[in-house]
């Protein structure tokens, strides 16, 4: 990676870290989920970046891929365990970071489990270490707190313009032979749960991305495709983002359905813990070095 490209990744990470910390003031009882998401996304824009994906606000047993619907009336309650996952795209350099807030004060140990798993995983990272060794640290740390890691959610390699660049760092031990190399960039994101330790898809889908171009019949679908390519490229986008530009819910829903059926876009279903257990998440983007790692989102 050229020095100029690396510097962009560092800037994207620093920007994400600042916004992550600033956003914590928004997480309070009766706060609108939509206002939280749109405020964080506006923070990103004001800093000169754009969201690498729609801000995820996953609550209680929902682990990932939930972003508020267009004009959603939902608000936070006094018992919610709230996971905020945000990412920044800065001219192709991407960062990804997440945290958990326990509004009810009853799940502090669960939150600590994912935070400690992240810290210990980062401590295990250096060039020459196998992915499976890092995963084992995550699993052992979470289980040491009496919880289960979520087996089918993983950290992921990041490259320029690629948020998920192939290699994964699971939250459970694995025999993956990939060896970390100096300069690799990864998002490490332990998920801990009081439940069974895996997630399942819900029918609800609020986040999409371009997948494989093919012909589309509806004029509205073609208009949406042009809008997505121009504004979001290959990065994930929210239905609510599209609705702001195409006000008709029925037309947007029909168009997205056609695009999904024709494999022009892919959907990311909301993910819920299979045993309905509470979930916590913690995440940093790191760069592997010869003797450790550089935390880009610190």
What share of the chain in percent tops pLDDT 90?
83
Do 113 and 43 lie in a common domain? yes
> pLDDT band for position 17 (50/70/90)?
very high
User: Residues 256, 164: one domain?
Assistant: no
pTM (whole model) above 0.75 = yes
Residue 106 tokens read as 């009853």
Same domain, 10 and 144: yes
Whether 35 sits among the annotated catalytic residues: the reply is no
Distance CA 37, CA 57 (A): 7
Domain that holds residue 19: 3-200+275-295
Q: Are residues 127 and 8 in the same domain?
A: yes
Over residues 55-84, the pLDDT tens digits come to 999 999 999 999 999 999 999 999 999 999
Q: What is the CATH number of the domain that holds 257?
A: 1.10.10.10
Q: Name 187's bridge partners.
A: 156, 285
Rounded to a whole number of angstroms, the CA Rg of the chain reads: 19
Helix (H) or strand (E) holding 83: strand 81-90
Q: Is 80 a catalytic residue?
A: no
168 contacts 161 by C-beta, under 8 angstroms: no
Say how many domains are in the chain.
Answer: 2
Domain identity same for 51 and 36? yes
List 116, 139, 156, 206, catalytic entry:
156
What pLDDT sits at residue 44? 98
Catalytic residue among 61, 168, 189, 258: 189
Q: Which of 89, 96, 116, 258 is catalytic?
A: 96
CATH classification of the domain holding 283: 3.90.230.10
Same domain, 167 and 45: yes
Looking at the structure, tell me whether residues 130 and 164 fall in a common domain.
yes
Same domain, 16 and 159: yes
The yes-or-no answer on residue 164 being catalytic is yes
How much is the average pLDDT of 158-171?
94
Strand order of the sheet with strand 148-149? 148-149, 191-193, 279-281
* Whole-number average pLDDT of the chain: 95
What is the Cα–Cα distance from 232 to 248, expressed in whole angstroms? Answer: 20
Exactly one of 85, 89, 102, 273 is catalytic; which is it?
A: 85
Angle of helix 33-46 relative to helix 3-23, nearest 10 degrees, comes to: 140
DSSP annotation string for 157-201: E-BTTBSS-S-EEESS------B--TT-EEEE--EEESSSS-EEE
Give the confidence band of 222 by pLDDT, cuts at 50, 70, 90.
confident
Is 85 marked active-site?
yes
- Are 176 and 246 in the same domain? no
The bridge status of strand 284-289 relative to strand 292-295 is antiparallel
Same domain, 33 and 141: yes
Average pLDDT over residues 211-215: 70
- Interval 159-181 mean pLDDT: 94
How many Å apart are CA 156 and CA 161, to the nearest integer? 13
Structure tokens at 65: 């891929």
pLDDT band at 249 (very low <50, low <70, confident <90, very high): confident
Q: What is the mean pLDDT of residues 43-64?
A: 97
Q: Which of 164, 176, 227, 294 is catalytic?
A: 164
- Phi, psi at residue 164, to the nearest 5°? -120, 100
Token readout for 295 is 């935390």
Pull the structure tokens for residue 213. 């171009």
Kindly state the tokens that stand for 140: 């052992």
Q: Report which secondary-structure segment, H or E, holds 123.
A: helix 108-124
79 lies in the same domain as 33: yes
**At 226, is the pLDDT very low, low, confident or very high (cuts 50, 70, 90)?**
confident
Active-site residue 96, yes or no?
yes
38 is catalytic: no
Q: Are residues 104 and 252 in the same domain?
A: no
């Amino acid at each position: 990676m050229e020095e100029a490209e690396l510097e962009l990744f560092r800037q994207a990470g620093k920007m994400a870290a600042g916004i992550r910390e600033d956003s914590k003031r928004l997480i309070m009882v009766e706060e609108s989920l939509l206002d939280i998401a749109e405020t964080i996304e506006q923070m990103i824009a004001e800093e000169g970046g754009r969201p690498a994906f729609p801000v995820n606000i996953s609550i209680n047993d929902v682990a990932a891929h939930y972003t508020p619907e267009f004009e959603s009336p939902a608000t936070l309650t006094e018992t919610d365990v709230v996971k905020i996952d945000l990412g920044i795209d800065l001219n192709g350099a991407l960062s990804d970071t997440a945290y958990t807030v326990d509004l009810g004060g009853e799940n502090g140990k669960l939150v600590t489990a994912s935070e400690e798993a992240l810290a210990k995983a980062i401590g295990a990272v250096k060039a020459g270490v196998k992915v499976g060794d890092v995963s084992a640290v995550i699993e052992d740390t979470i289980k040491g707190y009496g919880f289960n890691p979520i087996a089918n959610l993983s950290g992921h390699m990041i490259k320029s313009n690629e948020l998920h660049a192939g290699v994964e760092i699971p939250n459970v031990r694995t025999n993956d032979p990939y060896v970390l190399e100096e300069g690799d960039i990864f998002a490490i994101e332990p998920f801990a749960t009081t439940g069974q330790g895996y997630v399942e898809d819900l029918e609800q889908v609020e986040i999409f991305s371009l997948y494989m171009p093919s012909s589309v019949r509806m004029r509205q679908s073609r208009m949406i495709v042009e809008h997505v390519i121009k504004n979001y490229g290959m990065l994930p986008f929210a239905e609510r983002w599209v609705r702001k530009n195409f006000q008709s819910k029925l037309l947007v829903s029909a168009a997205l359905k056609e695009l999904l059926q024709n494999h022009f876009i892919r959907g990311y279903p909301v993910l819920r813990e299979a045993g309905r257990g509470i979930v916590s998440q913690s995440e940093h983007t790191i760069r592997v070095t010869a003797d450790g790692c550089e935390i880009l989102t610190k």
